Amino acid sequence: MFDIERWQEIFDTIRKNKLRTFLTGLSVASGIFILVILLGFGQGMQNGIAEEFKEDAATSIWVWPRRTTIEYKGLNPGRRVQLRNENFDMATTAFEDSYEKASMLYMPRDIQVVYKNDLLVYRIQGTNGNLQVIENEYLSEGRYINETDVREHNKVAVISEKIKREVFSEVESPVGEYITISGAGFKIVGVFGEHGDNEGEEERIFIPISTAQIAFNGGDKLNNINFMLPEMESFDATVAKNQEFTDALLTYLKGYHNIAPEDERAIHIWNPIQEAKRYYSLIGGIKFFFWVVGFFTIIAGVVSVSNIMLIVVKERTREIGIRKALGAKPWSIIGMIMHEAIFVTAIAGFSGLIFSMGLLELLGPHVKVDYVLNPSVNFNVALTTVILLIVAGSLAGFFPAWKAVRVQVIEALRDE
C-alpha cells in the first residue's frame, strides 16, 4: 500500500543530506555505468572479430604447400611440396561426405594483362565456381566461373568491382568486354565483390583453372586447394568436425608426398574456425574480467549505501526510540530504512543504466577500430543487472535497519 507519509520522510531525509545522497547515488550509478560500458566493449570486440572472419566462409579450410623440414624415407629436408590435380581429385572423393564445397587455385606467373593497349597490373588465378562461396564473394554483374567453363577450357574471365572502377569506368558494363592475357583474348562474363574493406582481394582476375593450366604451361600443378565444411549444431561441434577433417586431410597429403608425420611446416593449413576459436576464447576471458571489475565496482556502491544507512540509523536513533515507545512495529522501522536504501539504489542504478545505454547507442555505431566494432549490450542483461543491484541495495538497507530495531527504547531515548 502506498504510504505518502513514508515517502515524505524519505524525501525530507534526502533534502537534509543532499550532498551525501548525491555522492552515494553517484557511486552506485558509476558502478552500473562502468559495468555496462565494459560489457558493451566486450561485445564490440566480439563483433570486430566476427567482421574480421567475414571475408571467407567461417568453416573454410585452405591448404598451402611449403618445404619439408625433416628427412624422411631417405629424402632430404628442404624439398618443395607441389600439389597436383590428383591430390584434389583424391581428396574430394575420399572426403566427399565431409565437406560442402571444394575448389582449387592455380596462379600463373609472368602474365601480362592488356585492355585496349593499357597494361593492367592484376593477378590472374585459375579456379572453379565453388571459390565464390568459399571466399564469401558476391556477384554484382554477370556470372561466375562454372563447370562448363572448366570442362571446355573456355576463355572467360571474372573481374572485381575494384577493377571495374579503375579500368572500365568509361563503359556502361564490363560484361562482354575482352581483355588480353599473354596474347590470348578472354571475354569478361562477371563482376565479383568482396565483403569488408580488403581491396587487396579484389586485385584478382579469375579464369577457369583448366584454361589457366593449359594456356600458361601449368600442367597439373596447383598452388592451393580449399574446402568449406558444413556448420554443425553448435560452435564446439563445428570446431571438432573441422579439426577431424583437417587431421585426415593432412594425413593423406603427407602420405602422398612422403612427408614425415611430425613435419608441421611442409604443408600449411589456414583454418578460420580454429583462429576464431582462439579469439573467442580470449574474448570470453576478457568478458569474464569485465564482469569481475564491474561486479566489484557495484559492490563498492552497495557498501557505500550500507554505510550511509548506518549513519542514517545513528542520526535517527532517538527518533527510532520514540517510534518504538509509541508502539511502532519492528517491520515498520525496517521498512522505513529499507525504503530509503532501495529508492536511492534504484534511482542511481537506472540513471547509470540509461546514461550508459544512451552513450553506447549514440557512439557505438561510429566505433570502427581494429577488432572493435559497434560496442553494444543486451538491454535485458543490463536491466537484470540493475534489478540485482536493487536487491543488493535492499540487503544493504536491511542490516542497518535490523540494527535499528534491536536498539533498546531507553538507550535510544538517552541518545544525544
Q: What is the dihedral of CA 181, 187, 189, 193, to 10 degrees?
A: 30
Q: Is the per-residue pLDDT at 130 higher than 80?
A: yes
Amino acid letter for position 54: K
Angle (nearest 5°) at CA 254 between 147 and 224: 35
Q: Which three cell numbers stand for residue 56?
A: 571467407
Cell of 317: 536513533
Average pLDDT over every residue of 204-216:
95
The answer to whether residues 128 and 209 touch, using CB atoms and an 8 Å cutoff, is yes
pLDDT per residue over 374-388, tens digit each?
788 877 877 887 887
Which position has the higher pLDDT, 312 or 15? 15
Provide the 10 A C-beta neighbour count for residue 260: 16
Residue 358: per-residue pLDDT: 86
- Percent pLDDT > 90 in the chain is 38
pLDDT digits (tens, 9 = 90+) for 216-241: 989 999 999 999 998 888 777 888 88
Q: Confidence class of residue 1 from pLDDT cuts 50, 70 and 90?
A: very low
**Chain-wide mean pLDDT for the chain?**
83
Does 315 have pLDDT greater than 90?
no
The radius of gyration computed from the CA coordinates of the chain, to the nearest angstrom, equals: 34
Q: Residue 139: what residue type?
A: L
Higher pLDDT, 347 or 214: 214
- Most trustworthy range by pLDDT among 198-212, 280-294, 338-352: 198-212
**pLDDT tens for each residue of 237-266:** 888 888 899 999 999 999 999 999 999 999
What's the CA gap between 213 and 410, in Å, rounded? Answer: 103
Q: Using pLDDT thresholds of 50, 70 and 90, give the confidence band for residue 156.
A: very high
Q: What residue segments make up the domains of the chain, in order of their start?
A: 4-52+278-414, 60-270
Cβ(304)–Cβ(393) below 8 Å:
no
**133 with 58: CB under 8 angstroms?**
no
Q: What pLDDT is attached to residue 273? A: 78
Helix (H) or strand (E) run with residue 187 in it: strand 184-194
Task: Record the cell numbers describing residue 99, joined without a space.
Answer: 565437406
Residue 38: band (very low, low, confident or very high) from pLDDT cuts 50, 70, 90: confident
Residue 365 clears pLDDT 70, i.e. is over it: yes
Length of the chain in residues, anyone? 416
Count the Cβ atoms, other than its own, within 10 Å of residue 301.
28
Nearest C-alpha neighbor of 65 from the set 269, 261, 237: 269
Task: Give backbone dihedrals phi and psi of 197, rounded to 5 degrees, phi first.
Answer: -110, 20
Longest dimension (CA), the chain: 109
Grade residue 71 by pLDDT with cuts at 50, 70 and 90: very high
Distances (CA, A) of 95 to 34, 229, 234, 359: 50, 11, 21, 50
